[in-house]
Amino acid sequence: MAKSTAAVVREEKKTATPAKGTAKAGAAEGVAVMNPVAGFLAGTSSFLRDVRGEMRKVVTPSREEVRTTTTVVLVTVFAFAAYFYLVDAVLSRAVQALLRWLGGTQ
């Protein structure tokens, strides 16, 4: 019967590990038994390096760009406010007319 690929991979991993006492085995064991504090510090320093690299990519917009985008946002907000006001007024009148027609309100 043929072996599954997972069984073959497991067997290859078993044979690929170096013997204890060699330099490669010591390095691999050191990573596996890493001190939690050292791991935290390494992770934190890596994170801060990444943050510093990303912050170097940040571009501050010019005064004109800020003014333009602010104007676009304000115009859009007022346009949507007017649209929703009109839709609300039309629907409100329609519901009131429907209720009057059904005899619910006067």
Condensed to tens digits (0 to 9), the pLDDT of residues 8-67 reads 555 555 555 555 555 554 444 545 556 888 889 999 999 999 999 999 999 999 999 999
Indicate whether 7 belongs to any domain: no
- The answer on 52 and 28 residing in a single domain is yes
- AA identity, residue 54: E
66 and 97 assigned to the same domain: yes
* 76 and 52 co-located in one domain: no
Exposure letters 93-106 (e unless 16+ CB within 10 A, then b): eeeeeeeeeeeeee
Instruction: Give the total residue count for the chain.
Output: 106
Question: Does one domain contain both 52 and 71?
Answer: no
Q: What angle do CA 102, 104, 106 make, to 5 degrees?
A: 105
pTM for the whole structure:
0.47
> What residues make up the domain containing 95?
62-106
In a domain, 6, yes or no: no
